[in-house]
Structure formats: C-alpha cells, structure tokens
C-alpha cells in the first residue's frame, strides 16, 4: 500500500508500509510477534532434527506435528489481521467483526492442539530417556504422558463447549458464558502439567549415579519449561482486562500477542532438553540399586546414547582403545581387566563402555597364560 500520511505527517513519495501503526491501529505489533513466533520454533526444530539425524523417535514426530499445527494456527491470526484485527472498535465496520471473531476462535482451537502436542512431545522424551527396569519410573513416565493428553482433551471441552465463535467483540456474555472463568481453569491446569514436566524428570535423574553438576544441568534444561507458566499467567491477566474494556478492538491485542509468545516458547522449550549439551551426562551413567530393579542392559538405561548416538570424539577414543588392546596383547588386556574389576557387574554403565569391555574380555579369553 502507498502511504501518504501517518498521524497527519506526510512521508516522501514512493514510501510503502506493510502494516501501519497508529493511534487506532496496532496490528503491526501483532504482525511482528506472530512472524517471530513462527520463525523461532521452526529454527529450533531444524536444529533438533539435525542433531538427532537418523535417531528419531515418537517425541520428535510429536514435536514436528506440533510445529506444523502451530504454523496452521498462524493462518487464522493472519486472516484476522487482514480482516481488521488490531484496529480500534471506533474504526472497525460492522461487517468486519464476524470475520475477526471467527479467526480468533480458530486460532484458540489450534493453539490448544499445538500446545498439547508440545507437552506430549516432552513427556515422550522423558519416557524414552528414563526407560529401564524400575516399575516406579514406568508409572511416573506414563502418568506424565497421560496428564498431558488429558490437559488437551479437557481444555477443548472447557473452552469451546457452548461457546459461540462470535463472542470476542460482542457485549452479549451469553454467547460464551464464563469465558474468563474457562481460561482461569485452563491456565491452572496448564501450570500443574508444566510443573509435572519439570518435577518428574528431575526426580528420575536423582536415581542416576552421576555427579551433582550434571544432574543440575539436566534439571535446568527441564526447568526452562516453567518460563511458559509466566507467559500463560500474563495472557490470563491481559485477557481479564478485556471484559470491561471500552475499546474491545484494542483490548484483545495484548492477549493475542502473549498467547503467540506462550506457544512459541512451548515449542522451543520442548527441544531444549534434547540438545546434546544437556544429554551429555547420560553418556556415562549407572543406575542406583533398588529392590525392584535388576541389572539393566545398556539398551534399557542409556537413553542419551540410544536417542542421539555417541559423541564423535568419545567414539574415536574408544575405538582406538579397542585397537590398542587387540594389538598389545596380554599386557594391555591385563591392564584393562585390572581397571574393570572395580566396576560392579550388577550396574549398567554407558553403551560405549559396555562395548569396550566385551572386546577386552574377548581378548583375555583367547590369550594364553604363560606357563
């Protein structure tokens, strides 16, 4: 569009704008946030898929679908902006209001689906990482997955049953009775699930026999999810101000902005714990003995290795160690055997270490003892 004036001030000829920001039109702010909240989650997803290349699991596919649904969620937001969302009610025409209402309603529906899939992705990641023979771990992981799915189902019923799409700019509360109370319930349940997504993996990592600093690193990775609690609370606070607002058109801008930030961080934080720097401590772990556990195999406990593969430098060093053991014969093998005697055979160690120990044992079994 050709822009001639902004607030009465003329601009040079040939100046164009994508979205004007004025006293009665703040749609440009929504455009900026919506575009950024579309770009950053996609960038994070591409990094995750590159890091996990060839080792994808259900958690990766769940996040991929969540990101695609979030992309679809932006479509009604853009449609609403084109229809006039972001403008003051003083300048909106009556014909524009139904289109804006329908766009915002569709965006809310798709937000619930995308946010739920993001939670499910993280719950699947936790289940995949902490999978071994402890019954309690399985119960906690499956319960976490169940509560995240339940969140999405309950939100759909709470927010959209008996609620007309044409209620955002309407003064008739009967079109969506107790709309604010619905969002309060959704936000409260969301906070519970987010705390669970942080507490459960933090508890499970306490049973892994690694140092305090690596444990803290893993906990911080999952605790990053709690930032979305602040975004959800801010969205609710801004939404509560729309009830008695004089200008409905302007009052819904900030809730729309915060819900986009909320969704973007939900998708980004679902990938943070899966990055190699946070999962590196799991490359060499052992599981604390409990009454209900058995000596677990490497495929049952070493989630980081199974999901992300070995570190290249670590892999090369272990291969070199294996070759030196084979070439140096009995002397080297005895050295390794002496080192391995201090390891409890009933505990699981890292996947790569397990492979090396088998190689060393093979060499020892075939070497002849001097007479």
Q: Give the model's pLDDT for residue 169.
A: 78
The residues, ordered by sequence, that sit 6+ positions from 241 with a Cβ below 8 Å of its Cβ are 251, 254
Answer for the pair 180, 251: CB distance below 8 angstroms, yes or no.
no
Summarised one tens digit per residue, pLDDT across range 295-327 is 333 334 444 443 443 434 334 344 344 443 333
Q: Give the model's pLDDT for residue 273.
A: 79
pTM of the full predicted structure?
0.72
Q: Where are the alpha helices (DSSP H) in the chain?
A: 27-51, 58-83, 96-129, 135-160, 179-205, 212-223, 227-240, 248-251, 253-269, 276-279, 298-301, 303-308, 312-328, 330-340, 351-366
Distance CA 141, CA 200 (A): 8
Q: Give the model's pLDDT for residue 9.
A: 60
User: Between vectors from CA 264 to CA 259 and to CA 266, what angle results, nearest 5°?
Assistant: 95
Enter the tokens of residue 18.
């994508």
The residues, ordered by sequence, that sit 6+ positions from 94 with a Cβ below 8 Å of its Cβ are none
Q: Give the model's pLDDT for residue 368.
A: 52
90: left (phi over 0), alpha (psi -120 to 50) or beta: alpha
Classified as helix, coil or strand, 170 is coil
State how far Cα 189 lies from the chain centre: 17
Q: Give the model's pLDDT for residue 57.
A: 82
Q: Give the model's pLDDT for residue 278.
A: 58
Q: Give the model's pLDDT for residue 205.
A: 78
Query: Which pairing describes strands 5-6 and 9-10: parallel, antiparallel, or unpaired?
Result: antiparallel
Domains and CATH numbers, the chain: 5-274 (1.20.1070), 302-366 (no CATH)
Answer for the pair 23, 6: CB distance below 8 angstroms, yes or no.
no
How many other CB atoms are there within 10 angstroms of residue 329's CB atom?
Answer: 11
Q: Give the model's pLDDT for residue 10.
A: 61
* Closest-CA residue to 198 (of 272, 251, 116): 272
How many other CB atoms are there within 10 angstroms of residue 335's CB atom?
Answer: 13
- Block means of pLDDT (10 residues each) for the chain, length 371 residues? 49 69 86 93 87 81 94 94 89 87 93 95 86 74 91 92 82 74 94 91 72 75 88 94 84 93 93 70 45 39 41 40 38 39 39 37 47 45
User: Between vectors from CA 229 to CA 266 and to CA 200, what angle results, nearest 5°?
Assistant: 80
């Amino acid at each position: 569009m050709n822009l001639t004036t902004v607030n009465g001030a003329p601009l040079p000829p040939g100046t164009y704008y994508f979205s004007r920001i004025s006293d009665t039109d703040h749609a440009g702010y929504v455009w900026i946030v919506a575009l950024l909240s579309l770009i950053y989650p996609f960038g994070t997803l591409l990094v995750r898929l590159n890091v996990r290349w060839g080792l994808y699991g259900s958690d990766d596919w769940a996040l991929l679908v969540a990101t695609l649904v979030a992309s679809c969620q932006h479509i009604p937001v853009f449609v609403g902006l084109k229809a006039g969302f972001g403008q003051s009610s003083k300048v909106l025409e009556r014909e524009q209001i139904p289109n804006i209402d329908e766009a915002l309603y569709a965006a809310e529906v798709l937000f619930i689906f995308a946010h739920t899939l993001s939670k499910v992705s993280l719950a699947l990641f936790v289940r995949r990482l902490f999978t071994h023979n402890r019954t309690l771990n399985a119960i906690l992981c499956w319960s976490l997955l169940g509560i995240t799915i339940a969140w999405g189902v309950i939100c759909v019923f709470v927010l959209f049953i008996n609620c007309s799409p044409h209620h955002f700019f309407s003064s008739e509360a009967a079109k969506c009775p107790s709309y604010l109370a619905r969002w309060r319930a959704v936000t409260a349940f969301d906070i519970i699930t987010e705390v669970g997504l942080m507490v459960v993996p933090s508890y499970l990592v306490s049973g892994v026999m690694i140092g305090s600093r690596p444990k803290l690193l893993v906990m911080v990775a999952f605790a990053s999810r709690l930032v979305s609690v602040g975004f959800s609370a801010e969205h609710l606070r801004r939404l509560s101000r729309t009830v008695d607002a004089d200008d409905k058109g302007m009052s819904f801008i900030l809730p729309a902005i915060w819900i986009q930030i909320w969704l973007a961080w939900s998708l980004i934080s679902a990938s943070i714990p899966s990055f190699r720097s946070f999962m590196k401590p799991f490359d060499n772990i052992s599981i604390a003995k409990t009454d209900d556990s058995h000596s677990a195999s490497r495929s049952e406990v070493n989630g980081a290795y199974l999901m992300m593969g070995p570190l290249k430098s670590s892999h090369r060093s272990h291969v070199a160690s294996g070759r030196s053991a084979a070439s140096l014969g009995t002397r080297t093998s005895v050295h390794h055997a002496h080192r391995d005697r201090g390891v409890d055979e009933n505990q699981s160690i890292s996947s790569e270490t397990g492979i090396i120990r088998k190689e060393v044992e093979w060499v020892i079994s075939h070497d002849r003892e001097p007479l």
